Structure 1
Amino acid sequence: MKQVVQFKLNQTDQVFSTSLIQFSPSKSSQGVFKNEVSESQHSFKSFKELKDEFNITHHQHSQFYDSSFNSIDIIVETEMVDEDNKTPKIANFNKNNLMMKKQYTRMDNKQKSTNFEAFLLIGKYFFSVGILALPYMFYLTGFILGSLLIIFTAAMTIYSIHLIMAVHLDIQSKVDPSQVKQTTTITELAFKIFGVPGQLSCRIFSTIANLGSCISYIIFFEIYISGIIQEQWSNKITNEQAHLIGALFAFTIILPLSTVNNITLFWQTNLVGFLVGLIAVLWMLYLDFSLILGTGGVQRSENDLWKTDNFFLAVGISVYSFQVMGIALNIRNSMENPNNFIPVFYTSTILTCLMYLVFGIVTQLAIGEYTEDIVLLNFAPQTIIGFCVRLMYTISVLLSYPLKFYVVVQIYENLKCFKDEIFSVEKYEMSEYKNFFDQSLALLKRYAIRYVLIVSIFMLSLTTYKLAKIISLVGSLGSIILQFVIPQLVYMRYFKVQWYRIIFGITICLIFVISACLGVFYSLMSLSSNH
């Protein structure tokens, strides 16, 4: 019998009773560090000595989120492994009043990802409910202006990643490779260059973007379920009652997913969700092409090529569909060969841009002015095809939701005020009077606040069913600044660029700040209107 203990690596002053320590390989689906500890001897070594002896590097495994998303410290359960049948058994471990702890990495991913896996992960982050609003965006802007907006957003996304990569690589080149943190993100870069204000700005806009995505996902579920209810019992209940029932169903489904802490599952669920959603989009494209070839589509006018009345409403939708800044460098650091990140990212972004253009234009040609703000609503649920397409994309969104919510949870749970005061995790760990009640109370506080957040998201989702407008609001309020303004400021401040580059960068920042403000204004106006 051997005890398998998972250590928290930064606890350098911890002392353990060991005679043999060896490293077991990571599980294929986990990146948690494990050490096998023999219990036959009682020689003492400090963890720092063990770290030096075995060259343990805290950042050996790629992590998924920046420092603001530090993994949750969970009091250890020690596994007892039976060498005969290899069956893990859970046992309590509190020997010599030393409470062993384990630390989940920010993403419990399986191992280093290949270029293809990184390509799929980037594509999945692009691929969300935003694509369903693109036909409506083309209806708002016309074909030419809408196409230019999509291309411009994709180009600026690539440019922003280029700026952040330049800063990141320059920092790496000036520091001892063994001291370089392998999980640098836009938040950490902003903290190094602008201090707490930069870090706080990234956290705020990242929270808005991900929290808004959670709300939009729940609204999507409400629309889907209420559509089924109205189809089956249209004569017995009103639209408001159908939406309320749909919201309750959505809440019932989302609630257990919101309590998941093992993010090992997120890679798998996101990949499955991406593939299912891609099949649904390709199916919709096939139906649109069939409609165009069969009927010629709807009649067009010159005004359908270029419309500016709702341009800033469309900007938010476009930016929402390309939001990737929060996880780009994490994906790079998770790759087997990080030097391949740039071509992989460029390829994924360009192909996504082409898919957006084709899907938006073809759907708008087929449906025209009858386009709903979410194109799935144009597919009748009473038909087999319409039902299957709606169901497939709903499954895709359902599998994508947990990771969006997990990012929000990690941001607020790792704020100092929450960790030290509300959850009392650190106080509990330092206390000499550790008991089950204290541990349970800390856990109770943690989940109580999480449930309050879930209910708040649910209540906000009940305020409107205009999903395209919510997407536009989230894109304008949360994504534009994080994706286009902060990278410019980080680059200019770090490299201390010449005056002409400062003028260029400030001009870009002003354009996007004004676009964000106008986008928020028009989104709120549209949400408050009766149309």
Structure 2
Amino acid sequence: MGFKKDEASSSSHVLSIPREDTPLLGKIQHLSSPSKTFANVFIAIVGAGVLGLPYTFKRTGWVMGSIMLFSVAFLTYYCMMLLVYSRRKIESHIKAAKISSFGDLGFAVCGPVGRLSVDLMIILSQAGFCVSYLIFVANTLAYLFNYSIAKPDPKILGLSPKAAYIWGCFPFQLGLNSIPTLTLLAPLSIFADIAELGAMGVVMVEDVMIYLQNRPVLEMFGGFNVFFYGLGVAVYAFEGIGMVLPLESETRDKDKFGKILGLAMGFISLLFGAFGVLGYFAFGEDTKDIITTNLGQGLLSTFVQLGLCINLFFSFPLMMNPVYEVMERRFWEGRYCVWLRWLVVLAVTFVALAVPNFADFLSLVGSSVCIVLGFVLPSLFHLIAFKDELRWYGFASDAALIVMGTIFAVYGTSSSLMEIFAKKA
């Protein structure tokens, strides 16, 4: 395969430094059972992106949106397995290598350039997720407590409600993100996903009841101009490819990991599809970019929305930890640096203030870094790792994903940026 002996020692040395994604799971002492692996996959993938799916289905049409969602789910699973196969191949060839993360694999395959590429994508994607969290929390709180028919454009201390709530979160996030270890925060991650699943269930039941009453006019297919928009949101919704190698490492029966991952992805895609379709069916053309704001001002709706806000608020430091691992490793010799973390939180806050629309931002992050991280890099690493063994169809599939992923990323990023700037203007 072309790996030299000196490369093995170099890889082994670099692969021992802190990983950019392992802290999200914490330090696990025992290998995971199939059921725990299934749950870990669910926790790693399900996030705030699902809340923008009903609005996306309004833009793309519910049939086109569903086809796109399931296609992205399949391709995401396929590329996740490419990472697993590439890791197994390299570890079998270089006995001393221990590849525990996406960045480790990037270094083993492409050297420092590979690790730099993964590090950059990890920073942009994880920070992007946290920007969307702040936007969701601020917009939801503003909708619940400030907007009314009598006063549609209120101000809080001279700021818009969105800006006021984002800045209100800032000092608390400085404190949470200053915690050097995630041991105390780990239970919040599990709580957040359980609460989000419960909230999704409540929202879907409400959607069915509202649809039976209103039966709005629905579109099955949108135009080609919204294809890349929908693709970006769908890719964003299936976040978590950076966790697949740590998850596979912690699985007790590694031969069954592919099947468990496939079952988890199938379940998640059905859940996402039902959530998106039911949300659009309930509200039709009135579907908003954050579906929970369509539910009105009732007690149940308020409880669900506040629960989601609390969960995403406490998920922020968990999702930012991979960013800190990379930044501190590259700029502070791997040591804890509180002022560097504060600067990153400040930068994320400014970006959240600048982005006007939740779903538009999901599309931007999904179209840019998530497509590269989820499709382009796994295919490239697999192509390099197996370059001497791939048959023509394997080479063609990897090359096709690299080329199409790059085209989609470039075009999707430009269309999402034009969408955001057009709304700001």
Query: Normalization by structure 1: what TM-score?
Result: 0.71
| Equivalent residue runs for 1:151-162 within 5 Å | 151-162=70-81
Structure 1 counterpart of 2:59? 140
Structure 2 counterpart of 1:463? 354
| Equivalent residue runs for 1:31-430 within 5 Å | 67-69=18-20, 107-109=26-28, 111-176=30-95, 179-181=96-98, 183-231=99-147, 235=151, 237-238=154-155, 240-295=159-214, 297-300=215-218, 303-380=219-296, 382-415=297-330, 417-419=331-333
SS in 2 for 1:264: coil
SS in 1 for 2:100: coil
Distance in 2 of aligned mates of 1:508 and 1:159: 11
Contact conserved, 1:132 with 1:375, CA < 8 A, in 2? yes
Which of the residues 475, 480, 487 maps onto 2:371? 480
Larger C-alpha radius of gyration, 1 or 2? 1
Greater fraction of residues in helix: 2
* Count of residue pairs the alignment pairs up: 407
Query: How far off is 1:262 after superposition?
Result: 1.7
Alpha-carbon distance change, 168 to 244 in structure 1, aligned in 2, over 3 angstroms: closer
Instruction: Give the counterpart letter for 2:357 in structure 1.
Output: K
Query: How far off is 1:249 after superposition?
Result: 2.1
Q: Which runs of 4+ in 1 moved over 4 A?
A: 65-68, 231-236
Distance in 1 of aligned mates of 2:265 and 2:320: 24
Give CA deviations for 1:354-380 in whole Å, capped at 9, x if unaligned. 011111111111111001111111122
Answer 1 or 2: higher relative contact order, Cα 8 Å, separation at least 6: 2
Contact conserved, 1:120 with 1:271, CA < 8 A, in 2? no
Instruction: Give the counterpart letter for 1:129 in structure 2.
Output: A
Query: How far off is 1:293 after superposition?
Result: 2.3
Give CA deviations for 1:48-92 in whole Å, capped at 9, x if unaligned. xxxxxxxxxx99xxxxx9854399xxxxxxxxxxxxxxxxxxxxx
Alpha-carbon distance change, 311 to 127 in structure 1, aligned in 2, over 3 angstroms: same
Structure 2 counterpart of 1:493? 384
Query: How far off is 1:501 after superposition?
Result: 3.5
Query: How far off is 1:193 after superposition?
Result: 1.5
Instruction: Give the counterpart letter for 2:260 in structure 1.
Output: V
Distance in 2 of aligned mates of 1:298 and 1:233: 23
Structure 1 counterpart of 2:406? 513
Gaps of 5+ in 2: 1-11
Contact conserved, 1:67 with 1:188, CA < 8 A, in 2? no
SS in 2 for 1:279: helix
Distance in 2 of aligned mates of 1:322 and 1:241: 32
Does 1:530 pair with 2:416? no
Distance in 2 of aligned mates of 1:518 and 1:195: 28
Give CA deviations for 1:309-354 in whole Å, capped at 9, x if unaligned. 2111111100011122211010111233333322221111000000
Gaps of 5+ in 1: 1-57, 60-64, 72-103, 426-442
Alpha-carbon distance change, 292 to 241 in structure 1, aligned in 2, over 3 angstroms: closer
Alpha-carbon distance change, 464 to 407 in structure 1, aligned in 2, over 3 angstroms: same
SS in 2 for 1:265: coil
Distance in 2 of aligned mates of 1:401 and 1:111: 27
Contact conserved, 1:69 with 1:106, CA < 8 A, in 2? no
SS in 1 for 2:105: helix
Structure 2 counterpart of 1:504? 397
Query: How far off is 1:448 after superposition?
Result: 1.5
Structure 2 counterpart of 1:54? none
SS in 2 for 1:151: helix
Contact conserved, 2:371 with 2:405, CA < 8 A, in 1? yes
Give CA deviations for 1:78-132 in whole Å, capped at 9, x if unaligned. xxxxxxxxxxxxxxxxxxxxxxxxxx99833454333222222211222111000
Query: How far off is 1:175 after superposition?
Result: 4.9
SS in 2 for 1:529: helix
Query: How far off is 1:266 after superposition?
Result: 4.2
Contact conserved, 2:191 with 2:311, CA < 8 A, in 1? yes
SS in 1 for 2:354: coil
Alpha-carbon distance change, 370 to 333 in structure 1, aligned in 2, over 3 angstroms: same
Query: How far off is 1:238 after superposition?
Result: 3.1
Query: Normalization by structure 2: what TM-score?
Result: 0.88
Instruction: Give the counterpart letter for 1:69 in structure 2.
Output: E
Alpha-carbon distance change, 320 to 238 in structure 1, aligned in 2, over 3 angstroms: same
Distance in 1 of aligned mates of 2:257 and 2:185: 21
Alpha-carbon distance change, 233 to 292 in structure 1, aligned in 2, over 3 angstroms: closer
Distance in 2 of aligned mates of 1:105 and 1:124: 10
Query: How far off is 1:512 after superposition?
Result: 1.1
SS in 2 for 1:414: helix
Alpha-carbon distance change, 373 to 233 in structure 1, aligned in 2, over 3 angstroms: closer
> Taking every aligned residue pair, what percent have the same amino acid on both sides?
23
Instruction: Give the counterpart letter for 1:216 in structure 2.
Output: S
Instruction: Give the counterpart letter for 2:34 in structure 1.
Output: N
Please provide the CA RMSD for this pair.
2.7
Most deviating of 227-236 and 270-279 = 227-236
Structure 2 counterpart of 1:40? none
Distance in 2 of aligned mates of 1:329 and 1:224: 35
